[in-house]
Every structure is written in structure tokens, then in C-alpha cells.
Amino acid sequence: MKRARAAATRALVIVAVLLAGCAGMTDQAAPTVYVLDARPVEKPARPLRDVVLAVSVPRARAGYDTAQMAFVRVPYELEYFTKSRWADTPSRMLAPLLVQALEQAGGFRAVVPAPSAVPADLRLDTELVRLQQNFGVSPPRIELALRAQLVDVRSRRVVATAEFEEVEGASREDAYGGVVAANRALQRLLARVVAFCVEQSGSR
């Protein structure tokens, strides 16, 4: 009996150790997931234009078309956090935020995601040029850049092109500090994109 109990005790200890090891491995393998988000853009004092604007899903330049969170310590060398990542690629997270900001600004008859069954007059094409946390400066900062192009759908003519860049200092030297800074920078960038679209649609 004693031997049987001892063997059973040893087996339970081994199982407990294995389970604890598996739990530790699971915790280490699960990264912290973050999102891009922004508050509503203030409605500009501009008349409503009888224009339907379609918003394409942004493209992303090489190195940024990933859910990995990019940072740099030296110029031209991209690195990625291993324990933190975005919930989706930043370009895909940007798409609904652009639509939301343009809708809330109230400068158009309708704003729709592209492709859409609704015929559009203009289309906004964008490209994420850069979204990275720069640790090569003190204090660290987020660098966010977006290229925007407004296209006349019927004539397929480019109405206007612009590039927007925002830099925001991070209050913490970690991934979360970069996320907070990125969302502050994004708020300003969205307001600039909205102003660009409303202004350029008037010259159509």
C-alpha cells in the first residue's frame, strides 16, 4: 500500500510540474494585442457637398504590411516587438477609421468603403508609408506617415495627392507607450486627411 501511495504521489507531482510548464509556455507564447483607434473628428465649418466618396483599404509599404509592431534603433533597420503586436495589420485597421472620420466630418453626401455597390464620385486611395517607434532619439517617439490620393471615379483622373506625417513623443519606453502615442498621432492625421478630402473635392 505504501509503495502504491508513493508511486501515485510521484505521478501527481510529475503531472503538476508538466502542467505548470505548459502554462508557462502558453503565457510566454501569447503576445499582448493592441488596436489603433481615434476619437471622432470635429465637424468642419464647411458646406455639405453633393459627392459620394469611396474609401479604399489602405496599402502598406514593405515592412509595415504586418501585424508585428515595428521599431527602429538605428536608421534603415526595422525590428519588431516579440511580445506585442497589433490586432490586425495597421493598414486594415485604418480603413474603418478613415470612413468613420470622413462620415463624422459631414463634408459629403455619403462616405462608403470601396468596393461598394453605391456609385461613387470620388475615391480616396491611401498608402501607409511608415508606422514605427523610434528608439534612436530621446525621448522615443512614434513616426506615422500616410500618402493620400483623391481620384475622380468617372474620368479616372487624379484630383490631388498629398503626404501627411505626424510625430508624437512616447511617455514610456515600451510597446504600450508607442501605442498610446500612435493613437494620438493618428487623431491629428485623420483630421488632416478629412480637411484634404473636403477641400480638394470642391475643385472637382
Domain-by-domain residue ranges, the chain? 1-30, 34-201
pLDDT in tens, 47-89: 677 899 999 999 999 999 999 999 999 999 999 999 999 999 9
Fold (CATH) for 34-201: Rossmann fold (3.40.50)
d(CA 128, CA 62): 10
pLDDT at res. 17 = 41
pLDDT in tens, 91-109: 999 999 999 999 998 889 9
Partner residues linked to 119 by β-bridges: none
- For the entire predicted model, the pTM comes to 0.81
In angstroms, what is the C-alpha Rg of the chain?
Answer: 24
Name which of 114, 123, 97 is nearest 183 in CA terms: 97
